[in-house]
Amino acid sequence: MTRMPALYIGHGAPPLLDDPIWSGQLADWARELPRPKAILIVSAHWESAPVTLSAPGAPLVYDFGGFDPKYYRMTYETPDATPLAERVVAMMPASEPVHRHVSRGLDHGAWVPLKIMYPQGDVPVLQMSLPTHDPVRLMALGERLRPLRDEGVLIIG
């Protein structure tokens, strides 16, 4: 299997969904990438320690305000990401407990770009909180998650 890249996407606000340049660039990028088996996305819109994982199948989080009502009606349903959640939990040492949120879905830092990149919603998606701003701890977290890339998981920050 091809090693998946790790990406950083500066997504902006939901109205970027209607921006033809931004949308076109993300869609082109997704077509050029190998098809991911699953996606793990870390959004700075969700800072929570310890590491916390979204609830597969939970409704989207509309963590923005003042936009056209159409953005609050958007959905992005994806296949069950429970196997990825279990894999992430297993990769963490006992000193780094992982909380599995029971009702939090994907926030706009996750679903807005993915709605463009994988519009069919046919790739399992799991969101992980940003647990710290400490660069040493974040690098260690990235090192622990790196093997996922060899398993076909696209990691996006």
Q: Tens digits of per-residue pLDDT, 69-81? A: 999 999 999 999 9
Q: Tens digits of per-residue pLDDT, 26-57? A: 999 999 999 999 999 997 878 888 899 999 88
Model pLDDT, residue 1: 66
- The yes-or-no verdict on residue 12 having pLDDT over 90 is no
- The yes-or-no verdict on residue 19 having pLDDT over 80 is yes
Residue 128's Cβ-count burial label (10 Å; 0-12, 13-18, 19+) is buried
Model pLDDT, residue 47: 81
Partners of 126 in beta bridges:
40
Question: CA-CA distance, 149 to 40, in Å (whole number)?
Answer: 10
What is the residue-averaged pLDDT of the chain?
A: 92
Q: Tens digits of per-residue pLDDT, 81-122? A: 999 999 999 999 888 889 999 899 999 999 999 999 999 999
Partners of 20 in beta bridges:
none
